Amino acid sequence: MARIEQVDAYRYRLPREEGMLVDGMVYADERMMRDIQKDESLQQVRNVAHLPGIVRASIAMPDIHWGYGFPIGGVAATDADEGVVSPGGVGYDINCGVRLLRSTLTREEIAPRLESIVAAMYRNVPTGVGAHRRDLRLTGGDLRHVLEKGAGWAVSQGLGRAEDLDTVEERGCIAGADPDLVSERAEERGRTQLGTLGSGNHFAEMQYVAEVYDERIAAAFGLFANQITVMIHSGSRGLGHQVCTDHLRVMGDASRRYGITLPDRQLACAPIASPEGRAYLAAMAAAANFAFANRQVMAHWVRESVAGVLGLAPDRTGIATVYDVCHNIAKFETFSVDGRSRRLCVHRKGATRAYPPNHPGTPAAYRDVGQPVLIPGDMGRYSYVMAGTDRALDETFGSACHGAGRVMSRGEAKRAVKGRSLFDEMKQRGVHVMAAGVATVAEEMPEAYKDVSDVVNVVHGAGIATRVAQLRPIGVIKG
């Protein structure tokens, strides 16, 4: 069996062997590591360590589980000049991510109208496969602007406020996007999907701040006890999926053409400087911008839903963006490695950027405390807000976990809940759920996921992000 070395209470090393160019590094505690070894995700960490140009380590977060090529929860940085880019290190749902909204409302204030607010969100934010709003269908020119400008396009159309962009990763727009490299099929799939939640594990969730662990950082993020927040989890929908599909076909041939030998064909890649590598990154950036715009539009409609039910002007709810972070992306970022500054292509697949205080990539509003790190849990328990640290910058290319991580497949979850009324169970937990179908709720039942507090404890204990606040769900809409 391949070796696993425990470094400390929260770190495990997978030493270099059999063609690995770097070690693997897994963030987990002892109990978690026993569970992680039950699937193939550790082998995927080793496989990623074979990528040409990989720097420092192949990294896995505590929410790691098996994925396509890379494990979900994987982080890998490759040299921008000599390394490769791999679509498997981003995934099919390009820029799947999370936006957190805060408000000036309290749990007590909205309690009498909670079900009405959730119903309004469900009406206004399309959920489920094929759902869309007839009043937002993009023309070809509109879609091109979305792919180029991201969330900024939505704001320019009155679907949000200019200040929203101040607290969005990359201000809601990845540089270098080229809509001409997005296929007609991808555009067709995306044309009616802007502002839609989708299905699976995507959600819009009304929450309240149940616990505050760090008063100073929470105050900087605008969070306080019993405050109402809304978390939106979605991505680039069918457009991003098609972009990944299109470019994976090209990458398989490219790997062979450039003589790249890999232990898993799902790691198909191309040199960053190659025509294939540049084309993928430009198309991926366009899909990422679609996702930023998607979450921006939904945030606007959530703001309108809450205000409408409460009979307030939208500004009177105090709903504003805490942060919006992507967790399926490959981005060029600069880090100090072995004492020198290096430009790297950081693949984060099911991992969240976690920049520290005083970093130029941290929004100005949070420069003293670090970037917000948003960690959604399952719809029955809790989610977390954390803050990035200097240690993350030194060890994980400024990255932390992105969620709870599945422990059951969707099929297993459906079988496990047969005969149970999940809507009633969630209501007993104090969570009002509205969904397009019972099947989606069954697939996403709380038991299908790790307890996200275990994941957060490892990240906090390892020092790669600091625990700030716990958010508990009270209302959820799903596809």
Backbone φ, ψ for residue 208 (5° rounding): -135, 155
Task: Please provide the DSSP assignment of 407-425 as one string.
Answer: SS-HHHHHHHTTT--HHHH
User: Is 327 part of the annotated catalytic residue set?
Assistant: no
The catalytic residue among 50, 241, 402, 460 is 402
Q: Which residue has the tokens 């079900």?
A: 115
Going from the C-alpha of 26 to that of each of 100, 215, 361, 377, 461, the distances in angstroms are 27, 30, 25, 20, 14
What residues have CB less than 8 Å from 35, skipping those under 6 apart?
407, 450
> Nearest Cα to 14, choosing from 32, 41, 53?
41
> Nearest Cα to 331, choosing from 357, 352, 359?
352
**472: part of which helix (H) or strand (E)?**
strand 465-478
| 8-state DSSP, 102 | E
**433: part of which helix (H) or strand (E)?**
strand 432-435
Give the Cβ contact number of residue 336 at 10 Å: 10
**143: part of which helix (H) or strand (E)?**
helix 140-149
For the annotated catalytic residues, the residue numbers are: 402
